[in-house]
Structure 1
């Protein structure tokens, strides 16, 4: 099967097909329970203990065209078990039904609802497109003066949807099924009228000041790693506590796989919750 992000044409065909059918239902494992979210998104919760130590909220990636996978569910369940946190998995709408402006605003409302007094300590996490959306929403919360999560932890974050870093073309050949042209097309459709350079779309271009401590996890063979490195630098320049864990020659989203460096990355995500 051709990846929906293999080319501009592949993206356009995929999105056109999705116009006539709804987003696929999220096949959550039995331990996850559906929760009626205040913004109408599909949200699932897993509580590994009667009185959780905190909450972690995870937004899965997929370039705004692919739904959550079994690897996402397994990762979140493992993190919840190891931290004692209640896990909240957010399945946001996909293209062609998602646009950045509404998605960021909806996620701000959802984070605010989940980050209540019962949460104790709230950590927002995500991978790839979900990581970028998580960062954009947290920046918007800071701009509005809202209560922020205690920490952010982002895996292989897609934070500049323009994909203009000079180091990215050299990484493209080893990043299949990700392609610069296909990913950028997804970004254009997601951005809508805002355009790719708007901070709500590409939060690497947004304001870092006032963000909570930031953990970044990426592999140096990932097409998106150059932007993770730039994000780490921008956050540090704004006096945001930041940790960048890089795995040499590791691919996109390697912590969700059986890669040899995955265990270290997962430990870093646990540390972001409990420290």
Structure 2
């Protein structure tokens, strides 16, 4: 959503942040921006971009800053070296409701994290609906992980929104290949019938629940029985470390809480949940928000700690 760049001037003047009693960050920037989204009916703009995306967009084509592009299973694995001697690598899965190509805001966000962690950036530019199916996406994601881990660098998964669904499938299948996972505003539930989720539908400023359900139906139609692991029923032998970031105002927040609670109760994973009181879905694409800066800082620290330096 390149709209993020258009509102930087709006939020740059509001830089007061306080800590709420529950431990979540409350940012006046996020609150003012949320009000602007409501006024402009930004939810409708997002819904239109999901249903009618321009899939001809390819931010990697003819881009001199991009390294290697490896065409793989109907998608492309894009490699960008942010360090001459990388200490790890980040495999990134972008959001966009499985339909929208990766955009410049997402590239800027993940590249800044890779640079600060001295990591090689591996972007999983997966095939999109409706031309390709969810099975195609899963096959690509698996092939991308296999290609990435072959170089021996510690591999971290970072994903936002819909991209997190693919990342979690890899985590559940290949936990021994992943050094750590960071999820931001993940979309993990494709039914969207939970009463707590439904009750948030009207007030969410970013996501239209009916549009998400429509896309979810399209996504699940491409899967055969057993092909997609239930993220709310993980193996009790699952290990690893995971960060989960989300805004408490998000439509999907109840699912995020359920996911974290389930992993904590039934697996051997170490889970760190960071919620922001006033953040909206995929807030991390607005780089001037205090919530974004805090999230990036925590991902950088997590990555360094998990690899040992």
TM-score normalised by the chain length of structure 2: 0.76
Q: CA RMSD in A?
A: 2.5
1:223 Cα deviation after fit: 1.1
Quote how far apart the aligned CAs of 1:47 are.
Answer: 0.8
Cα distance between partner residues in 2 of 1:209 and 1:50: 37
1:102-123 residue CA offsets vs partner (Å, 9 max, x unmatched): 322321121011012432x110
Q: Which runs of 5+ in 1 are unaligned?
A: none
Does the Cα contact within 8 Å between 1:43 and 1:91 map onto a contact in 2?
A: yes
8 Å CA contact 1:108, 1:141 repeated in 2: no
Q: Using the TM superposition, give the Cα deviation of residue 5 of structure 1 relative to its aligned residue in structure 2, in angstroms.
A: 3.1
In the alignment, structure 1 residue 149 sits paired with structure 2 residue 178 = yes
The answer to whether the 8 Å contact 2:191/2:216 transfers is: yes
Once residues 248 and 84 of structure 1 are traced to their aligned partners in structure 2, the CA distance between those partners, rounded to angstroms, is 30
| Mapping of residues 1-275 of structure 1, within 5 Å | 2-3=44-45, 5=47, 11=51, 14=52, 23-28=55-60, 30-119=64-153, 121-141=154-174, 147-194=176-223, 200=228, 203-207=231-235, 209-237=237-265, 238-257=267-286, 258-275=288-305
Aligned length: 259
Q: What TM-score do the two structures reach when normalised by structure 1?
A: 0.85
For 2:119 and 2:69, the matched residues in 1 are separated by 16
**SS across alignment from 2:200:** helix
Q: Is the 2:206–2:281 Cα contact (8 Å) retained in structure 1?
A: no
CA contact (8 A) 2:180 2:303 kept: yes
Distance in 2 separating the partners of 1:125 and 1:199 = 22
1:157 and 1:259 map into 2 onto residues whose CA distance is 19
Distance 1:45 1:193, change over 3 A: closer
**1:174 deviation in Å?**
3.1
When Rg is computed on C-alpha atoms for both structures, the one with the higher figure is 2
Q: Which runs of 5+ in 2 are unaligned?
A: 1-41
